[in-house]
Amino acid sequence: MVLTSVLFVAVTALVKILGTRVPAPQAAFLRYLMGLVFLLPVLWTLGHLRLGAGTWGLIGVRGVMHALGVALWFHAMTRIPIADVTAMNYLTPVYVTLGAALFLGERLAARRILAVIAALCGALIILRPGFREVGEGHLAMLVAAVVFGGSYLIAKVLLSRVSAGVLVAMLSLAVAIGLAPVAIAVWVPPTPRELAILLAVACVATAGHYTMALAFRAAPLAVTQPVNFLQLVWAVLLGALVFGEGVDVFVILGGALIVASISVIAWREAVLRRRIPPPVPGAGV
């Protein structure tokens, strides 16, 4: 999840560099279409999958939800600062963590709940709601956080049925198909530079989704999602050093609170793992 956070912030920087000339639905469509190139070995095996109707239904629903979220994210990314997008994206882990407890039966220990709340408070310190003008980019991110949360919950369910590689390939294919009609309707011929940037976005984002899928398989969502808050650290540094967006005291304070909460969760999980006795040979066969 730490590596995933770095990869997703790199995607943010590339989309910022891309600019607003290419409409958001078209940019998102090209990103996922190009991402299929990196997944050709996996796509070749999809025709041999024997999945139930329920699994295919979940894959389709996730594709529609993620397509909407990606289009909204691309729209927001070109209109508000990187730190704003990243901070507002922290609504997604909150929805995912709560949804995992409500719908997937995952246990939320008190320490995890307090750490998630603390991390969310850190994001709120940065955003300072009520003291900033809320534009269309902020509204787009509010909706994107909800649909991304639903997409990640479905991903957790699907990982018990398909491999991480298949999950990423299915997502790329479903989102590309879902965005195609909208992209065609607003199509603007991209320049070679814009295509190169979108190809880099596809490469980095596909790697990010794969590492995230591996993290989902290795640990409960209540453990993996708070680590996403590290994205804010990278986003603030990137915005200040590359895009000249500046850093204020609220960003520093909020980021410190977020990092502290993540450290508490990581330490607690390490303690609990050391207390678990080794499995008895042959048990559970």
The one-letter code for the residue type at 206 is T
Output the pLDDT for position 127.
72
Nearest to 18 by CA among 238, 235, 193, 183: 193
The one-letter code for the residue type at 163 is S
User: Hey, what's the torsion of the CAs at 193, 85, 83, 243, to 10 degrees?
Assistant: 20
CA atoms within 13 A on the CB side of 151: 27
Task: Enumerate helices (H) and strands (E) in the chain, giving the number of each.
Answer: 13, 0
Q: How high is the mean pLDDT in each 10-residue block of the chain (285 residues)?
A: 87 86 90 80 69 84 90 85 78 77 77 80 76 76 88 87 79 87 93 93 85 80 68 81 77 76 67 49 31
Q: Which tokens is 265 given?
A: 């969760």
Domain definitions of the chain by residue range = 2-275
Q: How many CB atoms lie within 10 A of CB 282?
A: 6
Q: Provide the whole-model pTM.
A: 0.72
Sign of CA dihedral 33, 146, 232, 261: negative
d(CA 139, CA 146): 11
Do 83 and 232 touch, CB atoms closer than 8 A? yes
Q: Which tokens is 89 given?
A: 């994206």
Output the pLDDT for position 268.
65
d(CA 18, CA 205): 15
Q: Which tokens is 239 given?
A: 């915005």
d(CA 152, CA 220): 12
Output the pLDDT for position 278.
38
